[in-house]
């Protein structure tokens, strides 16, 4: 057994709260009583211990939730919030950091970030305002958790047993044996793309877009929670001296101003909207009638099949999940000279979870990660990377190896077949693995700036989106694919059709992301005026940006976890901002050969391994030799030749 990995079997919900209280009290005692002449070192010790205690609990709450665990988890949130507030207002610690003379450029960067964070958490506020700051942070933590729980519970509360007639068109390997349809994304997406029965598509669409809202079971309604979250964030920004929460958010981003963000998004809308209008017109002509939202994916899939003789389900047999994963390992090994080895004697939270270690060319262990690929009950929807611990050189010289969790929600293996992925699924896996590599391959020995730590939100997606580009390379698709029955790789005609379809409906897809980005940013520019503020603003943004009217019952904001419980408040634009950077990075690989090891090593050494040790604009310029350019991004979306 490798030491110092999370012990999931030891997590007892009834013991969590007391154990957390003891750690928090001990951490604060250390800060209050110990000499803080080396504040970075002291903070690393106490924060590392806390993170390694809490991370497995938080992770289990997301992937294997139970009523007892949820109760314990929610009981801990106010304790953690109080602790964070105490740390951020700790005058002795603040003065120690102000006095500290950094020993190197890494410590200088950490001190810069620490002083910024102290400022943004109100170290200079009056006692009364500090108290209110703490109350707001605690409440936001509780509200965010309830927001996500309402989505999970609302999603799982709905099911529909369909008739054979209604299921016509949906691939048989997607349909559950009991014919019970759910709102889990793989099932919902399949209905939208393939169900010939238009009323079934509409039924599932309406159920999906009204989850956790006033139009569904009211005990899961997120309306008031959204209102409260936005009001509290606006108040928090005001207390700290900002005009609105968007300005506060940008203090920790690459983008420098609200105008810069809005200009960035508006210019992309100008590129995407004409393309989207043209695409929607083509779809409507193909369908022979005016389209509703539950028609777009269906006719998009039909038209794509007609034009390119390819659709996502054609790829499933060629992409067994485990084979794709091994192909991904081979690709990364070639780029960065690494080896991946499965570890069989680690504790996991589900029998389908695997654990791997990364060994570099010098036979040194660089990182360990868990892979959880398939959807199941009590597991949060979506895909994400999270960490158990960061790379860290301890005061005694021992090196702590970074450990990460990679989580997806792919279609489960069936009795007669393994878990099979679509091409979209493969891209999702590559994306999350990019986050994992960013965290695991760091060479920085300080927790605050190793891996993804200290990296601005609008740059943190660069390594993940960079990895997606490899999923559009013919030679790589060949290596990733192996038919689960015949062992054949993807045939050339299928790959060629896929590549030809890359920009199909790209305008519509990009415009949707721009709509979300603009809505998020507008949402955080003002204080919510009334209980209808969120929905009204969403409709205004949709009408300004989208090319198809939305039904009155659309409640998209009620499940927008990214901004209400995911760290992307006034930062959803980050995905596109970082994609500009990632496409520009990949263009150098295209110039030198996509699997060029020399370029791979340069990317690893100058950007991927550097964490938050320098501002991302400097790391980017070190690698690319110039400022970012949007050309590669626009080409990747088919908006420029």
Map residue 449 onto helix, strand or coil: helix
DSSP string, 511-530: HHHHHHHHHHHHHTTS---S
At 183, give phi and psi (nearest 5°).
-100, 10
Map residue 341 onto helix, strand or coil: strand
- The tokens describing 205, both together, are 């669409």
- The tokens describing 638, both together, are 């088919």
Rounded distance between C-alpha atoms, residue 521 and residue 516, angstroms: 9
DSSP string, 21-70: HHHHHHHHHHHHHS--SSHHHHHHHHHHHHHHHHHHHHHHHHHS--HHHH
Q: Would you say 384 and 63 are in contact if contact means Cβ atoms under 8 Å apart?
A: no
CA dihedral 586, 589, 590, 591 (to 10 degrees): 120
Which among 401, 364, 406, 362 has a CA at the least distance from the CA of 385? 406
Cα–Cα distances (Å) from 189 to 296, 433, 539, 583, in that order, read: 12, 23, 23, 27
> Among 432, 461, 473, 515, which one carries the catalytic annotation?
432
Cβ neighbours, 10 Å, residue 224: 11
Which among 466, 418, 422 has a CA at the least distance from the CA of 585? 466
Rounded distance between C-alpha atoms, residue 567 and residue 225, angstroms: 16
Which residue has tokens 């589900």?
350
β-strand partners of 386? 405
Cβ neighbours, 10 Å, residue 91: 8
Rounded distance between C-alpha atoms, residue 618 and residue 453, angstroms: 16
β-strand partners of 369? 356, 404
| Residues belonging to the chain | 641
Rounded distance between C-alpha atoms, residue 592 and residue 581, angstroms: 18
Which residue has tokens 């700036």?
449
CA 618, 624, 630: angle at the middle one, nearest 5?
A: 95
DSSP state of 420: B
Angle between helices 39-63 and 67-88 (to 10 degrees): 160
* Terminal CA-CA length for the chain: 54
CA contacts within 13 A on the Cβ side of 371 = 24
Rounded distance between C-alpha atoms, residue 554 and residue 539, angstroms: 9
DSSP state of 466: H
Burial class (CB within 10 angstroms; exposed 0-12, middle 13-18, buried 19+) of 487: exposed
Beta strands in 204-328 (DSSP E): none
Q: Which contiguous run of DSSP H or E holds residue 396?
A: none
| Known active-site residue 224 | no
CA 11, 14, 16: angle at the middle one, nearest 5?
A: 55
Cite the active site residues: 432
């Amino acid at each position: 057994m490798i030491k110092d990995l999370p012990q999931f079997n030891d997590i007892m919900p009834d013991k969590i709260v007391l154990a957390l209280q003891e750690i928090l009290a001990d951490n604060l005692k250390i800060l209050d009583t110990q000499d803080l002449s080396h504040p970075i070192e002291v903070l690393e010790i106490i924060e590392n211990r806390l993170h390694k205690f809490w991370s497995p609990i938080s992770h289990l709450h997301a992937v294997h939730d139970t009523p007892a665990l949820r109760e314990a988890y929610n009981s801990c949130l106010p304790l953690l919030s109080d602790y964070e507030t105490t740390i951020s207002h700790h005058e002795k610690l603040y003065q120690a950091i102000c006095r500290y003379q950094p020993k190197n450029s890494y410590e200088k960067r950490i001190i810069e970030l620490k002083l910024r964070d102290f400022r943004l958490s109100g170290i200079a506020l009056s006692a009364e305002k500090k108290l209110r700051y703490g109350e707001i942070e605690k409440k936001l933590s509780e509200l965010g958790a309830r927001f996500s729980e309402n989505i999970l519970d609302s999603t799982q509360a709905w099911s529909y047993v369909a008739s054979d007639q209604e299921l016509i068109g949906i691939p048989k390997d997607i349909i559950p044996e009991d014919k019970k349809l759910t709102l889990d994304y793989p099932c919902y997406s399949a209905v939208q793309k393939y169900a010939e029965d238009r009323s079934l598509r509409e039924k599932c669409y309406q159920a999906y877009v009204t989850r956790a809202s006033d139009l569904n079971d009211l005990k899961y309604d997120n309306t008031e929670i959204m209102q409260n979250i936005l009001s509290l964030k606006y108040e928090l920004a005001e207390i700290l001296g900002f005009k609105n929460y968007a300005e506060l958010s940008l203090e920790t981003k690459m983008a420098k101003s609200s105008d810069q963000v809005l200009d960035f998004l508006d210019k992309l809308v100008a590129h995407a909207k004409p393309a989207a209008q043209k695409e929607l017109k083509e779809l409507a002509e193909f369908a022979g009638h005016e389209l509703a939202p539950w028609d777009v994916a269906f006719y998009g899939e039909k038209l794509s099949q007609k034009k390119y003789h390819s659709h996502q389900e054609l790829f499933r047999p060629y992409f067994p999940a485990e084979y794709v994963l091994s192909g991904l390992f081979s690709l990364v090994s070639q780029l960065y000279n690494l080896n991946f080895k499965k570890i069989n004697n680690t504790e996991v939270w589900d029998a389908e979870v695997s654990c791997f270690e990364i060994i570099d060319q010098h036979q040194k262990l660089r990182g360990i990660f868990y892979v959880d690929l398939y959807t199941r009950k009590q597991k949060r929807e979506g895909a994400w990377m999270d960490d158990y611990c960061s790379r860290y050189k301890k005061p005694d010289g021992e090196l702590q190896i970074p450990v990460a969790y990679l989580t997806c929600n792919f279609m489960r293996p069936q009795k007669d077949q393994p878990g099979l992925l679509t091409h979209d699924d493969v891209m999702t896996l590559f994306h999350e693995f990019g986050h994992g590599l960013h965290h695991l391959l760091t060479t920085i020995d300080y927790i605050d700036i190793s891996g993804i730590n200290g990296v601005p939100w609008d740059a943190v997606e660069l390594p993940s989106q960079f990895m997606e580009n490899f999923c559009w390379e013919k030679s790589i698709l060949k290596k990733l694919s192996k038919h689960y029955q015949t062992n054949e790789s993807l045939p050339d005609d299928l790959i060629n059709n896929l590549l030809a379809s890359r920009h199909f409906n790209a305008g519509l897809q990009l415009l949707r992301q721009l709509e979300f980005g603009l809505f998020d940013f507008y949402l955080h520019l003002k204080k919510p005026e009334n209980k209808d503020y969120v929905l009204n603003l969403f409709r205004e943004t949709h009408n300004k940006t989208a090319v198809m009217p939305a039904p009155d019952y659309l409640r998209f904001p009620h499940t927008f976890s990214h901004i209400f419980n995911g760290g992307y408040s006034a930062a959803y634009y980050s995905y596109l901002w970082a994609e500009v950077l990632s496409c520009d990075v990949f263009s150098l690989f295209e110039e030198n050969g996509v699997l060029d090891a020399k370029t791979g090593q340069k990317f690893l050494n100058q950007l991927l391994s550097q964490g938050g040790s320098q501002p991302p604009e400097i790391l980017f310029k070190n690698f690319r030799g110039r400022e970012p350019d949007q050309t590669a991004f626009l080409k990747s979306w088919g908006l420029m030749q």
